[in-house]
Structure 1
Amino acid sequence: MADVTASDAALRRFLHGLPGVDAVGLQARAAALGTRSIKTTAKAYAIDLAISMIDLTTLEGADTPGKVRALCAKGAHPDPLDRTVPRVAAICVYPDMAATAKAALREAGAPEINVASVATAFPAGRAALPVKLADTRDAVAAGADEIDMVIDRGAFLSGRYLQVFEEIRRVKEVCRRDDGTAAHLKVIFETGELQTYDNVRRASWLAMLAGADFIKTSTGKVAVNATPPVTLLMLEAVRDFRAAVGVQVGVKPAGGIRTTKDAVKYLVMVNETLGEEWLTADWFRFGASSLLNDLLMQRQKLSTGRYSGPDYVTVD
């Protein structure tokens, strides 16, 4: 599909030629999938699966090395009293904390947990391209296994699609290391600012054409973050993209997913839309901080029959 990105006009024609989104139908299907119920055995499996898909996150101005190390310890052993609990998929931090997280995970005996670092002037994305590339380069050099970049929503909403495409492509380039390996690139749309479902579909295809390994809903820093209809639309986009070009891309809803009930709804949505192949941390993630606590409490309730309450888990 190289001709699609040969010019701004060609890319615009392609993106605006995508089928329009049936908003009513999309919302109805997302709502219907959210009503599916699962039984105790399946729920126990779903809870462990959801834990293994979490990008455990701290993205605050008050973050300290001590807080990041504590988060890494929790990600490595979510329940210190029960070592059967799975480890999380990644620890997500700002670039200046990536090296701290990498070292802490090694010390915790969990080097297989990835370090994800936000970059490209997260969360607003308001910086010149050289600054965004330097931000990404520094994160990769510090040991980040994954880069969560934000698109320039102003450029996208103004119709400067090729500019957004080139920015993603250039960030993808600097994710490559000298040894030939590369940090995986997650592209954040901030869907709450994209205004329409059609724009979410266009952004999904644009990012995948530019080389995104994952497409991600939100930064978690705005009023409207991940929603079931938007996530369903993105799941359909990665399904259609693989059918068209043979490349599989992951999906990460982030922001506002706080309960086990919410997480199970998203897992059902993935299974029904994409199948079991996508039900791994390689292809689906939750961007969350408080979700893990609720999953742990629900897990203990299933195993003991007692609900432990919030004092059972650490306060992040």
Structure 2
Amino acid sequence: RHIRIDLPDAEARRAVFQTELDDRPAADGIELEQLVNRTEGMTPAAISKIVDTAALEVFREATQSGEKLELETAHLLSAIERYGGQDRPTVEHWTWDSLVLPPAIKAQLRQIQSVIEDPESARRFGVEPPTGLLLAGPPGTGKTTVAKVLAAQARSSFYPVSGADVMSKWVGESEGNIRRLFERARENRPSIIFIDEIDAIAAKRGEFQVHDTQVNQLLAEIDGVAGQRGVFIIGATNRPDQLDPALLRGGRLSRTIVLGLPDEEARLAILQLNTARMPTVGIQLAELARETDGMSPADIKALCQEAALAAMAREGQTPAVTQADFLEALQRLRQDAGTDHLG
């Protein structure tokens, strides 16, 4: 027999903080709501540890300064940052500036970030927060980067997997992998699960019973976190037509954002982003933006890296990347791809 003990909700976490702070020299005006919001997915023992850590830091500061100090909100937030990082896989240093996207798409993603951070605001407007998001588009268009930025900006644990990683030849093992993935995400809320190539585990049902079982498991797990605060699912695919329709309805991955190949203006911005810290001489980014028609952001990044490596290989002079390096790298990439037009 298994007895499931759920993690404390906001009201329970508030009560734990109040109990722990009653015995501490805490300042008036401790911002409990901020602390409660930042400890989603933590156990009562973890919250107690956070208060202990913060109180010890205050004691050390008071000992060094000789002054009488009180426990402040800032001490507790600092302890949350330190303690909350244990077993919480995160992505750092990813910002919206890391992405070159059409303004309308970036605005949609920022809106989703706001809902992930504060779903109660959406509910106050009569909108049920989405459980997940589908990112569709050709390979290399930034789907993984979008997921990383959302996780970093929403201060969420990040659980990236590919559909192929989840699948197993053993009966029942794929379903177990899916179940364990969601369990970890629930234990470390707020969290984002990112499933790349989600079509590998969520293709249309009907042909193979084993496949249908893993799709059913995925749908059940998504339904299990629907309406709860703290777990958001992002799926990515370049074959949205292959997905089981149930995945995209019923409050699951109910919103789809298509990331297409960049236009000339976007390609110029991607080139500028990838050459910003690169020593260059005489490169003409506008010309390169025209020459890279049909290339994805990942292709353009690879082009910049190839050009830089060519410059580094030259001997007898200070390396600097030239226009010729870029054009030669572009030709090599096209040859490697077996086409005159990367895409």
Fold in common (TM above 0.5): no
Compare CA radii of gyration and give the structure with the larger one. Answer: 2
Report the TM-score when normalising by structure 1. Answer: 0.32
Structure of higher RCO (CA pairs closer than 8 Å, 6+ residues apart): 1
Q: TM-score, normalised by structure 2?
A: 0.30
